[in-house]
Amino acid sequence: MNYFSSDFKLGILGGGQLGKMLLYNTRKFDIQTYVLDPSNEAPSRMACNVFEQGDLMDFDTVYKFGKQVDVLTIEIENVNVAALEKLENEGTKVYPSSKTLRRIQNKATQKLFYQDHNLPTAPFSRFAYASEIEDAIDNGGVTLPFVWKAAQFGYDGNGVKIVRSLADLKDLPKGECIAEQLIPFKNELAVIVSRSATGETKTYPVVEMEFHPEANQVEYVICPARISEDVAKKAQEVALKASQAFDHVGVLAVELFQTEDDKILINEVAPRPHNSGHQTIEASYTSQFEQHIRAILGLPLGKTDNKVASVMVNLVGAEGYTGQVHYKNIESIMAMDGVTPHIYGKKETRPFRKMGHVTIVDQDLSTARQIAEEVKKSIKVISL
């Protein structure tokens, strides 16, 4: 199949920033692209050949969109899986597959999958309704403190809460959820695994994530992670095993806990390019976005080594600001060595909304981390 400068059409469900960054590479390779997104102002709109506005959860919309393309991929998990299943049955290649997506979309199903495939993860209980948790605490089935997670539609720290007392149960959404044992951990790590339609696999170096204490959003992604070689090897092996168990095609982001005694546990996975791999654009031989394109088209996978050490800083809307976005002091951070901002193209800011990211590269990781601190202090995402 000739993908380049040809009639081949690649469809992407979702037109957010991940889609936009995937499109950098389809433009580089001259691959025709179709994008479906509910928003008329989706960041991907500017970079694709054909843009359609429509509901990603609507069966007919997704099915009709998929019928126009040769290969269909996603940049967001919340899509109509039944439509994908029908498209697959009718010969459209869909990566990740409807089967993989169905398992990952629901956090309870995802956790059960780890158990069934001997993939290490924190102990948990599954509940059809949040109201059942109190009974489970009373009869000793669940012990405080624990992590409550909504089974579906959680993102960027939404749908996750640490429950330390019965009072914390009060305002939780009512639907299906899991209560996960709170694991004391040294580090939150992540590994991006790429697995091609041909079965070829490669892992990226392990990254370490530092989180914002209130928003439960990643503040810094540090690569390579400041961990021993043994722990890094273990993390990559667990991530690879997860990718193979899911029979995943594309890139899979595997978020991990490194426990106090250096065990590696899977927190959760995302079957698409991910925030923990953004630094690969500047710091790796092959970015996660190019790798995803290579993987779903069955092309040889690119080299995943780091060229340089890196730290990625998320640009999120400052608290107290809502409205038309303004990036205050962006010129001052661009004057710093090794600093590259990525602006996603969302016109409206609101507190903690992901508006962009900045990658800082340096031969020395501690220097990159220091500059990242300066970047974080300098730039502010505010409204006019």
**Which residues are documented as binding site for ATP?**
107, 149, 180-183, 188, 267-268
Binding residues: 107, 149, 180-183, 188, 267-268
In contact, 372 and 311? CB cutoff 8 Å: yes
Q: For 57, left (φ over 0), alpha (ψ -120 to 50), or beta?
A: alpha
CB neighbour class for 112 (10 Å; exposed up to 12, middle 13-18, buried from 19)? middle
CB-based contacts of 217, cutoff 8 Å, min separation 6:
156, 157, 211, 314, 316, 352, 354
In contact, 12 and 32? CB cutoff 8 Å: no
Sign for the pseudo-dihedral over CA of 87, 156, 210, 144: negative
Cα–Cα dist 128/336, whole Å:
51
Task: Give the closest residue to 36 by CA, choosing from 17, 20, 19, 14.
Answer: 14
Beta bridge partners of 185: 259
DSSP 3-state percent helix, strand, coil across the chain (nearest 5): 30, 30, 40
Q: Which tokens in the block code for residue 129?
A: 């309704």
